[in-house]
Amino acid sequence: MTKPPFETTVRDGVCQIARESTEWLSTGFDGGRWHADVAYNCTVPSGWSDTDLRGYVDQRLDATDFEAEGPALLTGVDQRHARVAVFDPVGVVVTAGLSNPATVPPRSVGSNTTSEANTVVDGDGGDDQPPSPTEYTPGTINIIAVTTRALEPGALANLVSVVTEAKTATLQKQTGFSGTTSDAVVVGCDRSGEPTPFSGSATSVGRAARACVRDALTASLASRYVDEEPPQSVAAAKYGCETTVETTVSTPTRDAETEPTE
């Protein structure tokens, strides 16, 4: 087995992903760019109700003797279901649960109107207001991907979309869902590695990332749902949402002096 481009250590529900001098880009609660030696994936307990997320993570790190700071993701999925996939020059860690699935049904043919709202199922508060944490422990699909290459800033940002596309394609095929309502991604690159300007799906980084996400996500779901079946639909899940809004679609306004009309 090829060795991952990072070290993983799990203590009391916290998974540390360590690689020195890494530049991270996170979509999590403390998202943005980080320069740090580590990133974390942290399992929260059932009934968790903390609102100071960074403070909560710091407490968990102190309790588990993880001293280094870095971006962190939160999940209701136990770390025993985490899976690692590696294909040079990328390694990926995934935890996956589907208690709060999300879907985007196809747009109605010929429709050009805007409907009122998403279809929201029970636990999802809607209107950008999350439900009470005491009533809601999201399953979440968390993905942390690291490459040994030194990606340009745009390539690191693009890796988020590459990873997300692979997640969506894999999940859609296996479950019919496009994701969950609380998915998050952290991508990282080695600033001392081989300079790499691009990370699209046809590049070595993008190709490896897609394969690693597919395989780690598939394995994590298989681990999570050994003794129970995942929900078969948003309506059958305890929490979730289905995006049923249909927007008004138009073409950009043309400059009559420079843009020819059809």
Q: Which domain holds residue 27?
A: 7-98+122-227
Predicted pLDDT at 133: 40
How many angstroms separate the CA atoms of 180 and 171, rounded?
10
- Whether residue 232 is contained in a domain is answered as no
- Whether residue 105 is contained in a domain is answered as no
Classify residue 243 as exposed, middle or buried by CB count within 10 Å of its CB (0-12, 13-18, 19+): middle
Predicted pLDDT at 132: 42
- Whether residue 107 is contained in a domain is answered as no
Predicted pLDDT at 136: 44
- Whether residue 138 is contained in a domain is answered as yes
Classify residue 91 as exposed, middle or buried by CB count within 10 Å of its CB (0-12, 13-18, 19+): buried
- Whether residue 20 is contained in a domain is answered as yes
> Which residues in the chain show pLDDT less than 50?
113-117, 122-126, 129-136
Q: Structural domain tally of the chain? A: 1
- Whether residue 184 is contained in a domain is answered as yes
- Whether residue 240 is contained in a domain is answered as no
